[in-house]
Amino acid sequence: MKPKTIKITYWILTILFALAMLADSYGGITQQQAGKDVLQHLGYPMYALIIFGVAKLLGAIAILQTKFNIIKEWAYAGFAFNFIGAIASRAFVHDEFSLLIPPLVMLVIMFVTYYFWKKQDQLNHQTKNN
C-alpha cells in the first residue's frame, strides 16, 4: 500500500471512529435515557455513565492528537477495555448474541484504525531516518 493511501485511510478511519466515540461520550455525559437503560440492565451504577462519557471524550481527543504517542497508546487500550468490557457485560447478563455485535464491530474498527496508525507511524520514522 502506498504511503499516501495509508495516511488517508488512517485519518478517515480515525476521524470516523473519534466521531462515534464523541457521540457516545455526549450521550453519557448528558445522561441520555438509552444509556441509563443499558446501565440499569447491566447492573452498573448510574454515575458510571458520566465516567464512561468523560473517558470516551478524553480518549477521542487523545487519538486525534499527533504529538504524544504514549497517550494515544493508552487511549486505544482504554477503548479496547471498554469494548471488551461491553461484550463481556452483555454476555454475563445473557443478552442475545445480536447485542454483542455492536461493541465487537467497534472493537474491530478500533483495531483497524490502530493498525493504520502504526503503519503511518512506521512510515514517518522511515522518512525521518532517510
Summarised one tens digit per residue, pLDDT across range 4-63 is: 999 999 999 999 999 999 999 999 999 999 999 999 999 999 999 999 999 999 999 999
Task: Tell me if 108 is assigned to some domain.
Answer: yes
Task: Tell me if 42 is assigned to some domain.
Answer: yes
Task: Tell me if 97 is assigned to some domain.
Answer: yes
d(CA 96, CA 26): 26
Range of the domain at 31: 3-125
pLDDT at 130: 61
pTM of the predicted model as reported, rounded to 2 decimal places: 0.90
Number of structural domains (the chain) is 1
d(CA 32, CA 77): 25
Task: Tell me if 28 is assigned to some domain.
Answer: yes
pLDDT at 123: 86
Provide the 8-state DSSP code for 98: G
Size of the chain, expressed as the number of residues it contains = 130
User: pLDDT tens digits, residue range 89-108?
Assistant: 999 999 999 999 999 999 99
Task: Tell me if 130 is assigned to some domain.
Answer: no
Task: Tell me if 94 is assigned to some domain.
Answer: yes
Burial 9-18 (b: 16+ CB within 10 A, else e): bbeebbeebb
Residue 73 has pLDDT above 90, yes or no: yes
At residue 23, what are phi and psi to the nearest 5 degrees?
A: -65, -45
Task: Tell me if 116 is assigned to some domain.
Answer: yes
